[in-house]
A and B are shown apart, each in its own frame.
Chain A
């Protein structure tokens, strides 16, 4: 199930809200756990077993770690952590990467194995990372063991962030799981956050995604240099509004049930360097890799060579995490290299540049990164990137470029406005100063307008006139 559907808005959410707030507090986590299982099973009726399995494994592993630590058995605790990591990573490896590895095996050694063609279980990349974080947190003493299986199940499968993050570390929500206070203030903030996210997804990402699809479907021969850039711009905006919209919805929904989740995006396109970009983009993933991979490997404490190796490992894995295709790996490596260059060579050069050039530098590299990210076939990617930097198959610019720009210009401007941090500051300062009555009223009006517009667009997306019988 996805949030941006009539099913979620007019069936699932009202029912869960009702059940949650009608039942007494001690039932709350059970309601969330069951609701989350239904939410998951709606799209993956069979794979729901996987999530239950992963939950059970880490519940047991957590108990074992706690027991071993209490009894001074360090080896036992380490074994339990390893068990959890091996099982979770095997699940992920098998369901997400099996075909990818088989293909590489085939290409390298020539052994023909055939492909498994398993459908990817939704959200497996997110929940396996979450369950692992729990066992590790318990081992490190960052969190207490969770004795209640239902509470733990609610954490793992929590539907707001189940299928697209943010990846919430156990220690961040450990307290909230056992005792949280649902308040009107938090609920209303949650509504606002959720509606902003829904608007980002339905009104901007889906719309601008159509422009990208249209351009991506063109043959290299009919593409101009300018159209190629317009396409990448569309994809750049689509992926930000889509992903951050989803995170916003997750955070908003969490707040409706009394949780405070950390932000996952912080205006990444306002960054002045790639290093800064990754501090603002998909924050929870970066944090996860830093906490559970980079730092345990030694981080920057073991000399420059070791640090570069550590960075290489982290960015290879970050790329691979995004999907079992070579383009994602390359995309990760691309960022790894850029970050190393920035860290050791460009840091001071960049700082000396005017701010506008720093932004330009960052966005140029980010957009090239996205054009790599968006093509699963490397020949397509190469052809497209070539069109971006050289004379396109249909020249530098043509009527079609103008048409696409004209037809989507307003939407692009709105999206650009919404993706830069100064626009928010500007609005807050001049129109809706914090703490004023006007601000609150405008927020209510905005929620109403957004909800109505999103419903219209969602209904429209299913509009499917059948006309062919009498052409």
Chain B
């Protein structure tokens, strides 16, 4: 009996001391690929830091961040929780058939911000409609994966639909038909691979169905059957951002490109005022090097992008977008000579300035994921259309404050 007590003491002490030693001896990491952030480095102990408590906080973060085999421990913790029957971990539902679906917590949204965004968007669309004509302006709202793929949610979970937000956009529009809610379209194809299992984005197939619906409903572009495109699988090892939040054993995703069979597509793309130029919409090499395979589409998110095609339709599209548009854009290249992509999360040039810069604009399309649209805090410049621009004074309070 005494021997076993000694063993207990020895085991406990060895575990504590070896753990402590390992933290001390092993080299500190600078960056976590998995979490995609800088890891806390060892803080310096000063009297001021200590009395303020910043040293203590930083030191605890340091121990947590630099804990040996950190990623493995995190995996073990998630495994433990799933073994206990937990169906949502770190804000992600462990859905059916390998689907990971992010929780959309509507109660966490900033209601004021949502209202501002709705007002901004409707006034923008109304202005555009006046400027370019009814049939040339449209707005697509892409449902979040949780809503679109609601069949894959765990039992007894029902997806929340931001119905009031979409309704109030519709109500604010002079022509309510401009708004295209893709919820039904997406839900109709739920059985197919239209969203990645481990990422919040839709797949190219999902974007294709959206394109068909949009082309049919608005007539802004031509509708093609799926056979029109040649499919190419570029990756089969994609773990998306949802997977980063919770590591459970789910199959990796595939990334498929849809090429036009008719090779009329001499594309030229110009990003960040000419800093990056390319002759393709796809960047498999860059996406392979980085760890987000979705970057294969247009390589990255940036404020302003310009695509020139050989479509010879005489039309130019202004596309106000978020990342969901990145795999949608390839479907547009047959219908427009020129596409201007603007992503307001990465820049703040008023939309009026952009309009003046491109006098050839004939059509306008807004493509947003509803969830991200509600969270967006940087949309305000979308309200500064050409018409508004003239009435507003040059002084920009926002910019002035930000510069300070």
* Cβ < 8 Å to B, chain A residues 386-423: 399-400, 402-403, 406-411, 414
Q: Are A406 and B107 in contact (CB under 8 A)?
A: no
| A residues near B241, Cβ cutoff 8 Å | 465, 467, 470-471
Contact B158 A447 (CB under 8 A): no
Across-interface contacts of A456 in B (CB, < 8 A): 73-74, 76-77, 80
Q: Quick one: which of A43, A46, A219, A440 contacts B5, CB cutoff 8 A?
A: A440
Contact B15 A465 (CB under 8 A): no
Q: A462-B65, A463-B35, A467-B245 are in contact. Are A409 and B85 (CB under 8 A)?
A: yes
Q: Is A460 a contact of B37 with CB atoms below 8 Å?
A: no
Residues of chain A with a CB closer than 8 A to B276's CB: none
Interchain CA distance A200-B82 in the complex, whole Å: 18
A455 contact set on B, CB distance < 8 A: 19, 73
Render B20-39 as a binary contact track against A, CB cut-off 8 A, 1 for contact. 10010000000000111100
Residue contact B16 to A13, C-beta cutoff 8 Å:
yes
Per-residue 0/1 for A173-203: is the Cβ within 8 Å of any B Cβ (1 yes, 0 no)? 0000000000011011001100100000000
A437 within 8 Å of B (CB atoms): yes
**Chain B residue, CB-CB nearest to A18:** B17
The reply on A457 being an interface residue by CB < 8 A is yes
Contact A470/B86 with A437-B4, A465-B34 known, Cβ cut-off 8 Å: no
Question: Quick check: which of B56-64, B109-117, B126-134, B168-176 contacts chain A, the rest being far away?
Answer: B56-64
B29 to chain A, nearest CB (A): 14
Please, which residue of chain A has its CB at the minimum distance from the CB of B16?
A: A14
Q: Is the CB of B37 within 8 A of A464?
A: yes
Cβ-closest chain A residue relative to B301: A470
- Chain B residues contacting A410 (CB-CB under 8 Å) are 84-85
Given the interface pairs A6-B64, A448-B15, the reply to whether A45 lies near B50 with Cβ below 8 Å is yes
Stretch binding the partner chain, chosen from B6-14, B218-226, B333-341: B6-14
A420-471 contacts to B (CB < 8 Å): 435, 437, 440-441, 443-444, 447-448, 451-453, 455-460, 462-467, 469-471
B151 at the interface (CB under 8 A from A): no
| CB of B156 within 8 Å of the partner chain | yes
Kindly provide the distance from the CB of A445 to the nearest chain B CB, expressed in whole angstroms. Answer: 10
Give the B interface residue count (CB, 8 A): 64
CA distance A10 to B76 in the complex (A): 19
Question: Which residues of the partner chain B approach A149 to less than 8 Å between Cβ atoms?
Answer: none
Contact B85 A448 (CB under 8 A): no
**Interface SS of chain B: helix, strand, loop or mixed?**
helix
Closest to B85 in A: A410
Contact B73 A17 (CB under 8 A): no
- Taken together as a complex, chains A and B put the C-alpha atoms of A408 and B74 apart, in Å, by 20
Task: Tell which of B7, B85, B244 touches A467, judged by Cβ atoms closer than 8 Å.
Answer: B244
Is A464 a contact of B63 with CB atoms below 8 Å? no
**How many residues of A sit at the interface, in one of the four size bands?**
35 or more
B78 interface residue per 8 A CB criterion = yes
B162 CB to nearest chain A CB (Å): 15
Q: Which residues of B contact A185 (CB under 8 A)?
A: 2, 5
Q: Does A302 contact B (CB under 8 A)?
A: no
Which chain B residues border A466 with CB–CB below 8 Å? 35-37
Instruction: Give chain A nearest CB distance to B28 CB in angstroms.
Output: 15
A27 adjacent to chain B (CB < 8 Å): no
Residues of A within 8 A of B23 (CB): 10
Q: Give, as a whole number of angstroms, the nearest-CB distance from A3 to chain B.
A: 13
Chain B residues within 8 Å of A184, by CB = 2, 5-6, 9
Decide yes or no: A9 and B8 within 8 Å by CB, A402-B156, A456-B73 being known contacts: no
Is there a chain B Cβ closer than 8 Å to A360's Cβ?
no
- In the complex, A7 has a CB within 8 A of chain B: yes
Q: How far is the CA of A457 from the CA of B64 in the complex (A)?
A: 11
A463–B53 alpha-carbon span in the complex (Å): 22
| Chain A residue with the shortest CB-CB distance to B8 | A188
> Within residues 44 to 77 of chain B, which ones have a CB less than 8 A from any CB in chain A?
50-53, 56, 59-61, 63-65, 67, 70, 73-74, 76-77
A11 interface residue per 8 A CB criterion: yes
Name A187's contact: one of B9, B156, B200, B323 (CB within 8 Å): B9
CB atoms of A447 and B156 under 8 A apart = no
Which has the most chain A C-beta neighbours within 10 Å: B15, B34, B158? B15
B36 CB → nearest A CB, Å:
5
| 0/1 string, B362-395, CB within 8 A of A gives 1 | 0000000000100000000000000000000000
| Residues in A neighbouring B52, C-beta threshold 8 A | 45
> Shortest distance in angstroms between A122's beta carbon and chain B's nearest beta carbon?
12
A93 to B65, CA, bound (A): 40
Residues of chain B within 8 A of A53, CB atoms compared: none
Q: Are A399 and B60 in contact (CB under 8 A)?
A: no
**Chain B hits for A465, CB < 8 A:** 34-37, 241, 244-245
B243 to chain A, nearest CB (A): 10
Task: Give the complex CA separation of A207 and B51 in angstroms.
Answer: 32
Residues of A within 8 A of B295 (CB): 470
Q: Are B87 and A406 in contact (CB under 8 A)?
A: yes
The reply to whether A443 and B8 contact each other, CB–CB distance below 8 Å, is: yes
CB distance from B106 to the nearest CB of A (A): 11
List the B side residues contacting A447 at CB < 8 Å.
8, 11-12
Please state if A11 and B4 are interface contacts (CB–CB under 8 Å): no
**What mask results when residues 219 to 236 of chain B are scored 1 for a CB within 8 Å of chain A, else 0?**
000000000000000000
B213 within 8 A of A: no
| Closest chain B CB from A347 CB (angstroms) | 41
CB of A217 to closest CB in B, whole Å? 7
Q: Provide the bound-state CA to CA distance between A407 and B89, in Å.
A: 10
**Given A11-B20, A406-B87, A459-B70: A191 and B15 within 8 A (CB)?**
no
Contact of B156 among A195, A399, A460 (CB under 8 A): A399
By beta carbon, the residue of chain A nearest B371 is A471
Known: A10-B19, A465-B37. 16 other contacts (CB 8 A): A7-B63, A9-B19, A10-B16, A11-B20, A45-B52, A191-B12, A403-B154, A406-B87, A407-B88, A440-B1, A444-B11, A447-B8, A447-B11, A447-B12, A456-B76, A459-B73
Top 6 closest pairs, chain A to chain B, by CB? A460-B77, A462-B64, A403-B156, A459-B73, A188-B5, A440-B4
7 contacts between A and B (CB under 8 A): A187-B5, A217-B107, A403-B156, A411-B86, A444-B4, A447-B11, A465-B36
List A residues at the B interface (Cβ < 8 Å): 5-7, 9-11, 13-14, 17, 42-43, 45-46, 184-185, 187-188, 191-192, 195, 207, 217, 219, 399-400, 402-403, 406-411, 414, 435, 437, 440-441, 443-444, 447-448, 451-453, 455-460, 462-467, 469-471
Give B contacts to A, CB under 8 Å.
Answer: 1-2, 4-9, 11-13, 15-17, 19-20, 23, 34-37, 50-53, 56, 59-61, 63-65, 67, 70, 73-74, 76-78, 80-81, 84-88, 90, 107, 154-158, 200, 241, 244-245, 292, 295, 300-301, 322-323, 372
